[in-house]
Amino acid sequence: MYPESIKLFIDTFSKLPSIGPRQATRLAFHLVNSGKANIEETSKAVGNLKNIKICSECFFIHSNSDNLCNICRDKNRKNTVVMIIEKETDLISIERTKKYPGKYLILGELTKSGVLESSQKLRLNSLKNLIKNRGGQIDEIIIGINPTTYGDLNALLISKELQGLSKKITRLGRGIPTGGEIEFADEDTLGQALERRI
Ligand SMILES: [Zn+2]
């Protein structure tokens, strides 16, 4: 029923988070009706994303000439405190509180199975090596994982993996409602959760 290019668009965009086939179809028609210049601009915005790089220390995005993001390059941020989070958007939420002086490790979205994926183990290993190269032990590792049942399970797994590499391993306080998400918590709630670490 659809021309090949529309079909391809719908297939591609349906794979993106929070966009299903219906939304993808609406987007396709919207773009077609918006004219060639708009389509060009949209495809350029998507295409430019390929220039974004991933930080070699925390795995956040950047577009610097070396391998480090702006947070990892920042000499004013503490190397001795590292927060482990799932997603880039969690980092952005924590940064908005302006209450966190340390560094991060982005792990990628955790599964509900209570098993870490191999890519996540690799990222944890990279943090382990980083800490070993900086003297073997830091002051604090904060596990900034959503307070859900599987989040708790994963937090336990992660803290076992990192045992001995930090003087203490904490979690964000229970300001975030149980089952809630860091990404959607407001700045005050998140700031309090940060201050009342457990
Ligand atoms: Zn970084």
Domain with CATH 3.40.1360.10 in the chain: 53-195
Protein residues with C-beta less than 5 angstroms from the ion ligand 1: 55, 57-58, 60, 69, 72
Mind listing the pLDDT tens digit for each residue in 7-35?
999 999 999 988 999 999 999 999 999 99
Residue 82 pLDDT: 98
Distance CA 184, CA 122 (A): 27
Residue range 55-65: mean pLDDT, rounded: 97
To the question of domain 53-195 being in CATH 2.40.37.10, the answer is: no
Domain with CATH 1.10.8.420 in the chain: 4-51
Residue 180 pLDDT: 66
Residue range 90-117: mean pLDDT, rounded: 92
Residue 192 pLDDT: 84
Query: How many Å lie between the centroid of ligand 1 and the Cα of residue 190?
Result: 21
Query: How many Å lie between the centroid of ligand 1 and the Cα of residue 10?
Result: 34
Strand order in the sheet with 166-171: 103-106, 81-85, 138-143, 166-171
* Topology (CATH) of 4-51: Helicase, Ruva Protein; domain 3 (1.10.8)
Closest by Cα among 95, 100, 120 to 110:
120
Residue 172 pLDDT: 86
Confidence of residue 124 (pLDDT cuts 50, 70, 90): very high
Distance CA 12, CA 20 (A): 10
Pairing of strands 53-54, 81-85: unpaired
pLDDT over 80 (residue 177): no
Largest distance between two CA atoms of the chain:
63
Confidence of residue 152 (pLDDT cuts 50, 70, 90): confident
